[in-house]
Amino acid sequence: MEYSLATYFLLFMVYAVAGWIMEVTCKSIEAKKFINRGFMIGPYCPIYGWGAIFITILLHRYTDDWIALFFMSVITCGILEYLTSYVMEKLFHARWWDYSRRKYNINGRVCLETLIPFGILGLAVMYVTNPLILAGFAKVSEHTLNIVAIVLFIVFSIDGLVSLVVVSNVRSTSTKLNKEDAGKTMDNTEEMTAKVKEALRKKSILHRRLVNAYPDLQTILKKKKEEIRQKTEAIKEDIKNKTKR
């Protein structure tokens, strides 16, 4: 299955928007208010777009066996979600979702409760939505598809740059507050997370949207604080031993 770059990008955008709609619907119902999910400003969640593209390119060989396709979709999307969580945590010193309290989870990054829907979505992508979407694309001229793809790519790229600056503020704000609190008695991840959220809400509407989109956001400072505390205790112990001498 080989298509033009424009076709793959438009397919990516369709599923990114569909993923955003699904996320917003589920989270809004859960919170009983509208929540604009996703890291980006626009109505799309790229992780769903990437998941659909990976399934389309890598798993088409399994379309003759729906059971194999189901499990391969679970594995493919599970790896994608795990790596996304890991990379985002390392880049921005924050955990954006945490499944630690759910059964059968792996380091809180993925869990059985979300992996099974991935398998179902994989079946839907290959057997239902892809044929419909690609058939629709086939009715449009290649020139038109290219123009639409270029325009959307420009909008998406600008959004990505702005959103990256906004998300990066989570790390910079955490680092700043952590330095300001150095030497103080506060050594609580939840308390620091609350302070980071409060500081972000004061920055701009885009920062407030990000905090509202990820209410479970938690800054990763505990390990660093623990290391500082251990060094402090070691210094105190060393001084105490020298005093006894």
3-state secondary structure 117-140: HHHHHHHHHHHHHHHHHHHHHHCC
Question: What percent of the chain lies above the pLDDT cut of 70?
Answer: 78
Report the candidate in 84, 93, 85, 102 with the shortest Cα–Cα distance to residue 222: 93
Angle between helix 5-31 and helix 130-138 axes, rounded to 10 deg: 130
pLDDT at residue 181, rounded to an integer? 60
Mean pLDDT of the region 82-111: 85
Residue with token string 């694309």: 137
| Residue 222 pLDDT level (bands cut at 50, 70, 90) | very low
Is residue 115 over pLDDT 80?
A: yes
Q: Which of these ranges, 43-47, 84-88, 185-189, 235-239, has the smallest mean pLDDT?
A: 185-189
Residue with token string 């979300």: 114
